[in-house]
Amino acid sequence: MPRLLTPSRLPGLLLCGLLAAPAAMAQTTLYRCTDAAGNLTVQNRPCPPGTTQRVQTVADVPSVPMPAPAPAPAAPPAGADAGPPPRVLDSAALPQRPAGDDAVAGEDRLPPPPLFRCTTHEGDSYLSEEQEQPPRYLPLRTVGLDGDPSAVAGQAHQVVRDQCARVPDGAACDAWRRYAREAESRWRFAHPDNAQRRRGEYERLARVVAESACGG
């Protein structure tokens, strides 16, 4: 025989339901906005007009706070001795610790490593830590001897390389912060099989920002 709920038991059941509700609501709606130049922005509000929007709901994940921008260093007086070339932070030599640990004193911070902005054969751009990119092979349209495209006997490819130029020193910190944000987006939207690797890459880039002069 089914059990009936008496009025005396209803308050307890309602209280249990209210306590369980926040756990099911711990989600965030993110908007992935891609502009005409192919730049990706992830935000918590709808995308502006003129961009391509993709909506995704994800579970709340604690984010590593990005440090505040550092003030630009003062230029040396004219005619002063430039001295030895400045050192830069080596991202490969950073210790493997969480990005939130601020163990580098402000006076010991170095400029960030070089970062490069690369342009593809199709006109898209992206940031990279490597100036030399591997070649890519693009298929070429071929035709037969009589000009008939259906009479093609083989395939041809064109070898192209993305062209990369170093980001100027004055824009390096902003570029590194954007590079780290893009890595965080790749981690948050990664397939579970790749999530751990994507998170490790984001934490490495966040340490570069936090432990360089960009960390302030």
Between 140 and 190, whose confidence is greater?
A: 190
Residue 170, CA atoms < 13 Å, CB-side half-sphere: 2
Are 34 and 123 part of one and the same domain? no
206 confidence band (pLDDT: 50, 70, 90): very high
Residue 186 lies inside a defined structural domain of this protein: yes
- Same domain? For 171 and 160 the reply is no
Task: Indicate whether 196 and 186 sit together in one domain.
Answer: yes
For the cut 60, the answer to whether the pLDDT of residue 158 exceeds it is: yes
Contact in structure between 206 and 102 (CB atoms under 8 Å): no
- The reported pLDDT for the residue numbered 136 is 87
d(CA 174, CA 84): 25
Do 161 and 172 fall within a single domain? no
- One domain, residues 127 and 44: no
Map residue 92 onto helix, strand or coil.
helix
Asked if 172 and 215 sit in the same domain, the reply is yes
Q: What backbone torsions phi and psi does residue 91 show, to the nearest 5 degrees?
A: -65, -25
In a domain, 7, yes or no: no
**% of the chain with per-residue pLDDT over 90:** 35
In this prediction, residue 13 has a pLDDT band, given cuts at 50, 70 and 90, of very low
- Residue 38 CA to residue 144 CA, distance in Å, equals 36
Q: How confident is the model at residue 98 (pLDDT cuts 50, 70, 90)?
A: very low
Which sign does the torsion angle of CA 11, 13, 14, 19 carry? positive
127 & 31 share domain: no
> In angstroms, rounded to a whole number, what is the distance separating the alpha carbons of residues 196 and 201?
9
Phi first, then psi, for residue 118 (nearest 5°) are: -110, 145
Q: Please enumerate in sequence order all residues whose Cβ is within 8 A of that of 43, keeping only pairs 6 or more positions apart, or say none.
A: 30, 31, 33
In a domain, 14, yes or no: no
No. of H helices and E strands in the chain? 3, 8
In a domain, 133, yes or no: yes
Whether 74 maps to a domain, the answer reads no
**Measured between alpha carbons, how far is 29 from 50 in angstroms, rounded to an integer?**
20
Residue 165 φ/ψ, nearest 5 degrees:
-130, 140
Q: Is residue 38 domain-shared with residue 99, that is, in the same domain?
A: no
Q: Is the dihedral of CA 47, 50, 51, 53 positive or negative?
A: positive
pLDDT at 153: 54
> Is residue 49 in a domain?
yes
Q: Name the phi and psi angles at 50, rounded to 5.
A: 90, 0
Helix (H/G/I), strand (E/B), else coil: 154? coil
CA angle 26/27/33 to nearest 5° reads 160
Domain count for the chain, please give it.
Answer: 3
pLDDT at 15: 44
Residue 3 lies in a domain: no
Residues 173 and 216 in one domain: yes
Residues 175, 213 within the same domain: yes
**What domain range is 43 assigned to?**
27-60
Q: Are 93 and 128 in contact (CB under 8 A)?
A: no
Instruction: Answer for the pair 28, 44: CB distance below 8 angstroms, yes or no.
Output: yes
Q: Give the up-direction half-sphere exposure of residue 77: CA atoms within 13 A in the CB hemisphere.
A: 1
> Do 110 and 194 sit in the same domain of this protein?
yes
Identify whether 106 is part of a domain: yes
Identify the pLDDT of residue 43: 77
Residues 130 and 199 in one domain: no
